[in-house]
């Protein structure tokens, strides 16, 4: 296995940029990323199924599975740690088919999501749980852009400056968790 690379990326993500990533790569992600959780995902899917435009652009975009806490005075955002990605698995294949290029969270993805990631030339980036303060330091702007009535579950437009993450599932079907487990057993 080759040593992990560190790659700087800026959203929106091009198909070529994502295709170049490999499971295990370190990523420093900058640009606009949309934060959304379960309820917002359900609403996005409902809109897509009705043929309506979603309230955020999807093509080439990244969705971060988080519901940030309110900002303290003088801060851009409060705690912004990742939520468990598996909770979004029922919605992820349809969002990838609609053009989402990256999802960001913690934990494993289902086999269906992993297939959809490969099929749609996307990537799943992992952020280590428990690093909410580090993530918050990478956020330079934050605003609610859809479903304000959902409170912490509203969709937020975050602007990141070098969010540290790891490629867990790449567009070639590789899975960092599986590869690490196989090395551990060998």
**Which residues have CB under 8 Å from 185's CB, separation 6+?**
none
Residue 54: inside a domain: yes
CA distance 93 to 113: 6
Q: Give 131-171 pLDDT, tens digit per residue.
A: 777 788 899 999 999 999 999 899 999 999 999 999 999 99
Q: Give 17-64 pLDDT, tens digit per residue.
A: 999 999 999 999 999 999 999 999 999 999 999 999 999 999 999 999
Residue 1: inside a domain: no
Please report, for the domain that includes residue 26, its CATH number. Answer: 3.20.130.10
By residue range, what is the domain housing residue 21?
6-185
Handedness of CA 170, 110, 10, 56 (dihedral sign): positive
pTM of structure: 0.94
Q: Give 64-102 pLDDT, tens digit per residue.
A: 999 888 888 989 998 888 999 999 999 999 999 999 999
Outline where the chain has alpha helix (H): 15-19, 38-49, 92-97, 111-119, 132-138, 176-185
Residue 30: inside a domain: yes
Question: Per the structure, how many domains does the chain have?
Answer: 1
């Amino acid at each position: 296995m080759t040593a992990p690379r560190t790659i700087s990326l800026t959203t929106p993500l091009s198909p070529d940029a994502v295709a170049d990533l490999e499971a295990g790569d370190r990523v420093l992600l900058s640009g606009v990323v949309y934060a959304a959780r379960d309820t917002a995902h359900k609403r996005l899917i409902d809109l897509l199924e009705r043929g309506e435009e979603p309230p955020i652009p999807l093509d080439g975009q990244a969705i971060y599975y988080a519901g940030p806490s309110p900002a303290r005075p003088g801060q851009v955002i409060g705690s912004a740690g990742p939520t468990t990605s598996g909770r979004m698995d029922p919605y992820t294949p349809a969002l990838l088919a609609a053009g989402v290029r990256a999802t960001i969270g913690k934990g494993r993805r289902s086999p269906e999501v992993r297939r959809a990631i490969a099929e749609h030339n996307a990537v799943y980036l992992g952020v280590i749980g428990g690093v909410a303060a580090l993530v918050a330091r990478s956020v330079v702007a934050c605003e609610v852009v859809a479903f304000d009535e959902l409170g912490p579950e509203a969709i937020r437009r975050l602007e990141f400056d070098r969010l540290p993450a790891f490629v867990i599932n790449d567009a070639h079907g590789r899975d960092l968790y599986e590869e690490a487990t196989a090395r551990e057993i060998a």
